[in-house]
Amino acid sequence: MLESASTIVVPVDFSAASKTLLSEAGNLAALYGAEIHLLHVYQDVFSVLSMRTFDLNEEVVEEVMIKEMREKCDTLLDSVDISVPVTIVMRKGETAEEILDYISEVKADLAVIATNARSGFEHFFIGSIAQRVVRSAPCPVVTIRAATRS
């Protein structure tokens, strides 16, 4: 058992599992008297969708995206009873790498992440972000299983 923790990183993707994940992380944070860093990693929409052909301003699009993600974080926080301080963080990049970089950057004592319950073909091609974080994180990682897909 972890003796103490002051910083817990909780990566969320706003899936159905995010509420359960944040609730469980809140319980752990309350137990240790820790603060939560609620982390959302997003992709560069221009590289993913090749939107440059639409003559859109990258900064404006990203600003709107960040505002919407912030609102989703606020809604998520409102849906869970959290009694510890929460810092909301947005990072752009490859999900697992950004999570691991942030964990190291803040010298997190613990990470709490949802497993996505992928299997077979989908897991082979997409992989598991949670699995990569568990294998490479410099701190203990608690995994919470997401609801199994039907």
How far is C-alpha 113 from the geometric centre of its chain's CA atoms? 7
* pTM of the predicted structure, to 2 decimals: 0.85
> CA-to-CA distance for 122 and 51, rounded, in angstroms?
26
Q: Tell me the pLDDT tens digit for each residue of 47-59.
A: 555 555 555 677 8
Q: Tell me the pLDDT tens digit for each residue of 61-120.
A: 888 889 999 999 999 999 999 999 999 999 999 999 999 999 999 999 999 999 875 555
Mean predicted lDDT score pLDDT of the chain: 86
Per-residue pLDDT at 53: 53
| 3.30.70.1150, 3.10.450.30, 3.40.50.620, 3.30.450.20: CATH of 7-145 | 3.40.50.620
Percent of the chain whose pLDDT exceeds 70: 81
> CA-to-CA distance for 39 and 34, rounded, in angstroms?
15
State the pLDDT confidence band at 43, using cuts at 50, 70 and 90.
confident
